[in-house]
Amino acid sequence: MKITIGMFGFGKTGSVVAEEIIKDEICELRWVLRKSTTKEGEYASRLLGLDHDEGKIYSVENIDLDTFYEDNYVDVIIDFSSANATENYEKAVQYGTRIVSAISKYDRVHLDQLKDLSKQTAVLYSPNITLGINFLIEASKVLQRIAPHADIEIIEEHFRGKSNVSGTALRIAEDLGLDIKQHVNSIRVGGIIGKHEVVFGLPNQTIRIVHESLNRAAFGQGAIYAAKWLVGKDKGIYTMEEAVALSFAKNPHVFEVTE
């Protein structure tokens, strides 16, 4: 059975994610919604160099959201656009569509909107949707329980133009109960896509847990995993950490590395 997907966002990351969805045998990209009218009416698949029509591009400026989601129903919406997109898929949940939000950082207003949507459908929110970073978070929690007196520092590295502390680093600090200003260290150099490291300092040893995204396709693979996991869930708000932890507990071989 195919899982039908609609996407918000078709920028640097969104276009790579769209390609991963199109390539997945279980998923079908029905449409892409974006704020811009650029490439409106064209197909994401064609723009990505593929020889079939999949993922028609629409602009939110030129559609009627009251009817769009009914006429273009999808099982899951995957959002890689911006925080205020929550306002544009409020009506989608009325038809049972689930939401995977991969926005790196929400303000309180939009986070509350996302939580409200979870009262009607299943919503998974993660500031970093990659499988690896969420495994890093879970592993760090375990290590913190084992070594509660360890000194802990978080190091996040990104491309030179990224201005704010990464939402992922903030999430790690929150999950580990650490003060952000004291324990999160940011590095901005070159074109690093994203690297996060949690350093545990003990008297006689140092333990480092590191994750680095080498290609934006990692975000697509994580989003697909999240969408497949979410399809079977009841309404409520979920995290990628939950999806990783619960799946790993049920089947420790699910994360075996393949070529």
- Give pLDDT tens digits along the chain (259 positions): 799 999 999 998 999 999 999 999 999 999 999 999 999 999 999 999 999 999 999 999 999 988 999 999 999 999 999 888 888 888 999 999 999 999 877 888 988 999 999 999 999 998 889 999 999 999 999 999 999 999 999 999 999 999 889 989 999 999 999 999 999 999 999 999 999 999 999 999 999 999 998 998 999 999 999 999 999 899 999 999 888 876 555 554 444 433 3
Distance from C-alpha of 174 to C-alpha of 169, rounded to nearest angstrom: 9
Nearest CA to 91 out of 105, 77, 78, 109 is that of 77
Nearest CA to 73 out of 31, 45, 114, 10 is that of 31
**∠ CA 231-232-235, rounded to 5°:** 85
Neighbour tally for 250: CB within 10 Å: 8
The CATH homologous superfamily of the domain defined by 131-213:
Dihydrodipicolinate Reductase; domain 2 (3.30.360.10)
- Which residues are catalytic, by number? 158, 162
Distance from C-alpha of 95 to C-alpha of 87, rounded to nearest angstrom: 16
Distance from C-alpha of 155 to C-alpha of 11, rounded to nearest angstrom: 26
What are the structure tokens assigned to 219, written together?
């975000």
Identity at 35, one-letter amino acid code: K
Distance from C-alpha of 17 to C-alpha of 1, rounded to nearest angstrom: 21
Identity at 54, one-letter amino acid code: E
Per this entry, what is the length of the chain?
259
Q: CATH number for the 3-125+217-250 domain, one of 3.30.465.10, 1.10.760.10, 3.40.50.720, 3.60.21.10? A: 3.40.50.720
Nearest CA to 57 out of 45, 42, 72, 68 is that of 42
Distance from C-alpha of 130 to C-alpha of 110, rounded to nearest angstrom: 22
Q: Using DSSP, state whether 22 is helix, strand or coil.
A: helix
Beta-sheet pairing, 205-213 with 194-202? antiparallel
Backbone angles phi, psi at 112, to 5 degrees: -65, -35
- Domain residue limits, the chain: 3-125+217-250, 131-213
Distance from C-alpha of 186 to C-alpha of 218, rounded to nearest angstrom: 21
Distance from C-alpha of 220 to C-alpha of 80, rounded to nearest angstrom: 10
pTM of the model: 0.84
